[in-house]
Structure 1
Amino acid sequence: MREFIARHARDHARTLDPRGPPRDFIDAFLAQREKEKSNPHSEFSQENLELTTLNLFFAGTETVSSTLRFGIAFLMRHPHIQGETPK
């Protein structure tokens, strides 16, 4: 998974337009990293980019799966509502 993110980050770095708005989180991170490239204590490293993106991905995955689990459990407990959901 981390290699997948690293590949995307490299692709973004190649196609980044510093004058345009960021397309996503990776673009924003890369733009800030460029601004701070002279700061040896910058937190905008490749490793932080990969790990932060990974954290965001898994945070979203957990949220969606928890919401779906709750929805299914709710419909199982209240079957009379199941017919109303498509409406």
Structure 2
Amino acid sequence: MREFIARHARDHARTLDPRGPPRDFIDAFLQHREKEKSNPHSEFSQENLELTTLNLFFAGTETVSSTLRFGIAFLMRHPHIQGETPK
């Protein structure tokens, strides 16, 4: 997964318009990294880009997973509602 994100980041870096609006989170991160390239203590490193993107992905995955689990459990507990779902 991390290699997939790294590959995406490299593709974004190649096609990045530093003066244009960011296309997504990776572009915004790369633009900030460029602004802070003279700061040796900057948090805008390649490693942080990859890990932050992973965190965002897994946070979204957990949210969707929890919502689906709750919805299925609710419908199992209240089967009378299942018939009204398509309405």
Q: Normalised by the size of structure 1, how large is the TM-score?
A: 0.97
Q: Distance in 2 between matches of 1:69 and 1:15?
A: 39
Give the CA deviation at 1:12: 0.4
Corresponding position of 1:54: 54
Give the CA deviation at 1:83: 1.4
Q: Distance in 2 between matches of 1:28 and 1:80?
A: 47
Give the CA deviation at 1:85: 1.2
Structure 1 unmatched runs, 5+: none
Which ranges of 4 or more aligned residues in structure 1 deviate by more than 6 Å?
none
Q: Distance in 2 between matches of 1:86 and 1:20?
A: 44
Offset from partner CA, 1:60-84 (integer Å, 9 cap, x none): 1011000000000000000111111
Offset from partner CA, 1:16-41 (integer Å, 9 cap, x none): 11122111110000000000000011
Q: Which moved more, 1:11-20 or 1:41-50?
A: 11-20
Q: CA RMSD in A?
A: 0.6
The count of corresponding residues between Structure 1 and Structure 2 is: 87
Q: Distance in 1 between matches of 2:42 and 2:56?
A: 20
Aligned residues with identical type, % of pairs: 98
Give the CA deviation at 1:58: 0.5
Q: Distance in 1 between matches of 2:86 and 2:20?
A: 41
Q: Normalised by the size of structure 2, how large is the TM-score?
A: 0.97
